[in-house]
Structure 1
Amino acid sequence: MSRIDDGVGAGVVRGDGAQERGPFADRSIGSIIAESRNLNAEQVEQVLRYQRDHGVRFGEAAVALGLASSDDVLFALSQQFHYPYAPGENRVGSPELVTLNAPFGYQAESFRAIRSQLMMRVYNDERARTAIAVVSPDSGDGKTFFAANIAATLAQLGGRTLLIDADMRGPRQHEVFGIENKSGLSGILSGRSESKVIQQVAGIPSLFVLPVGITPPNPLELVERPAFGLLIRELIGKFDHVIVDTPAAVYGSDCAVIAARCGAGLIIARRNSARVDALHEMLSDLSNATMNVVGVVINDL
Structure 2
Amino acid sequence: MATFRDASAAAPHLHPVPNPVEDVKPTAVHDRPIGDIIRRKKNLSAEQVDQVLQFQREKGVRFGEAVVALGLASDDDVMFALSQQFHYPYAPDDRRQLGSELVTATQPFSHQAEAFRAIRSQLMMRVFTNDEPRRALAIISPDSGDGKTFFSANLAVVLSQLGGRTLLVDADLRGPRQHEVFELDSSSGLSGILSGRAETNVIKHVPNLPSLFVLPVGITPPNPSELVERPAFGLLMRELLTKFDHVIVDTPAAVYGSDATVIAAKCGSALVVARQGKSKVSRLQDLVATISGSPAKLAGVIMNEH
Name the CA distance, whole Å, in 1 between partners of 2:46 and 2:179.
45
CA contact (8 A) 1:259 1:291 kept: yes
- In structure 2, the CA distance between the partners of 1:33 and 1:26, relative to structure 1 (3 Å rule), is closer
Aligned partner (choices 75, 81, 88) of residue 83 of structure 1: 88
For each residue in 1:175-197, what CA deviation from the matched residue of structure 2 results, as whole angstroms up to 9, or x when unmatched? 11111111111111111121211
Shift of 1:211: 0.7
Name the CA distance, whole Å, in 2 between partners of 1:185 and 1:42.
52
- In structure 2, the CA distance between the partners of 1:217 and 1:56, relative to structure 1 (3 Å rule), is same
Provide the secondary structure at the position in 2 that maps to 1:296: strand
- In structure 2, the CA distance between the partners of 1:16 and 1:129, relative to structure 1 (3 Å rule), is farther
> 1:183 maps to which residue?
188
> 2:286 maps to which residue?
281
> 1:12 maps to which residue?
none
CA contact (8 A) 2:187 2:219 kept: yes
What code does the residue aligned with 2:218 have?
A: G
CA contact (8 A) 2:38 2:78 kept: yes
> 2:129 maps to which residue?
124
Q: Matched residue pairs, number?
A: 283
Aligned partner (choices 263, 266, 274) of residue 258 of structure 1: 263
Any gaps of 5 or more consecutive residues in structure 2?
1-23
Aligned partner (choices 72, 90, 102) of residue 67 of structure 1: 72
Q: Does 1:170 align with 2:175?
A: yes
Q: Does 1:140 align with 2:140?
A: no
> 2:214 maps to which residue?
209
> 1:99 maps to which residue?
104
Provide the secondary structure at the position in 2 that maps to 1:88: coil
What code does the residue aligned with 2:170 have?
A: D
Any gaps of 5 or more consecutive residues in structure 1?
1-14
Name the CA distance, whole Å, in 2 between partners of 1:216 and 1:101.
32
How do 1:176-255 and structure 2 match up within 5 A?
176-255=181-260
For each residue in 1:70-93, what CA deviation from the matched residue of structure 2 results, as whole angstroms up to 9, or x when unmatched? 221122111211111223247542
Provide the secondary structure at the position in 1 that maps to 2:291: helix
- In structure 2, the CA distance between the partners of 1:248 and 1:90, relative to structure 1 (3 Å rule), is closer
Name the CA distance, whole Å, in 2 between partners of 1:230 and 1:89.
36
CA contact (8 A) 1:98 1:108 kept: yes
Shift of 1:214: 0.8
CA contact (8 A) 1:16 1:158 kept: no
Deviating beyond 6 angstroms after TM superposition, the runs of 4 or more aligned structure 1 residues are 52-55
What code does the residue aligned with 1:189 have?
A: L
RMSD: 2.3
